[in-house]
Chains A and B, each alone.
Chain A
Amino acid sequence: GNSVTQMEGPVTLSEEAFLTINCTYTATGYPSLFWYVQYPGEGLQLLLKATKADDKGSNKGFEATYRKETTSFHLEKGSVQVSDSAVYFCALRLYTGANSKLTFGKGITLSVRP
């Protein structure tokens, strides 16, 4: 079946540090890949997405590249801020003939210290 694996958390960084959150996937086909962010007490917000191999999604200083050869979609940011503290979910979506479900990773909590 389809699955998403995220690195274990939580992650704690100092402000302006470099961020990498690993995400790998298993899928029977060519999925679209997404990063969602959930701030405390809120719903999920789309952070960025990529729909085919070698696409790079970017938003708010975050980037992720769809790597088909390594089945990965790692999230990076050059300089994190305190306001980036949240839970980050990697997800894939694949059409299975009847519909296309969103499959989430477990999520990782990021805390950024001033």
Chain B
Amino acid sequence: DTEVTQTPKHLVMGMTNKKSLKCEQHMGHRAMYWYKQKAKKPPELMFVYSYEKLSINESVPSRFSPECPNSSLLNLHLHALQPEDSALYLCASSQGDLHQETQYFGPGTRLLVL
């Protein structure tokens, strides 16, 4: 089973709201990722957690706050977002962070910021 699940599937929020995106995998993977994807563009890496520690932050604004409560779960906390943050947010996981290891993606959360 190579399934990564994400909730919610869709999210609409105002610029003053606080919301969270959730990602879960039960493959025993130790690396987890958040990506942002705008329409007709490739995914852009935001954060990487390796063995539950934040290993990469691609200079993401602080209104996005990742959290990895355990090796199966990854959250992305959202606060005071801007309309330009509207996008598809994808979670992915891989066995580790070696180059030959495949990243498996979830279906994404489609976020609209009003």
Interface residues of A (CB under 8 A from B): 31-32, 34, 36, 42-46, 49, 51, 87, 89, 93-95, 98-102, 104-107, 109
Stretch at the interface among B12-20, B41-49, B71-79: B41-49
Task: Count contacts between A and B, CB distance < 8 Å.
Answer: 61
Interface residues of B (CB under 8 A from A): 4, 6, 40-43, 45, 48, 50, 55-56, 88, 90, 92, 97-108
15 pairs from A and B in contact (CB 8 Å cutoff) = A32-B100, A43-B4, A43-B6, A43-B90, A43-B105, A43-B106, A43-B107, A49-B102, A98-B56, A99-B48, A99-B50, A99-B56, A102-B103, A106-B41, A109-B40
Measured CA separation A105–B92 after assembly (Å): 18
Give me the 9 closest cross-chain CB pairs, A-B, nearest first: A104-B42, A51-B100, A100-B99, A44-B105, A43-B107, A43-B105, A95-B99, A93-B99, A32-B100
Chain A interface main SS type:
strand
Measured CA separation A98–B48 after assembly (Å): 11
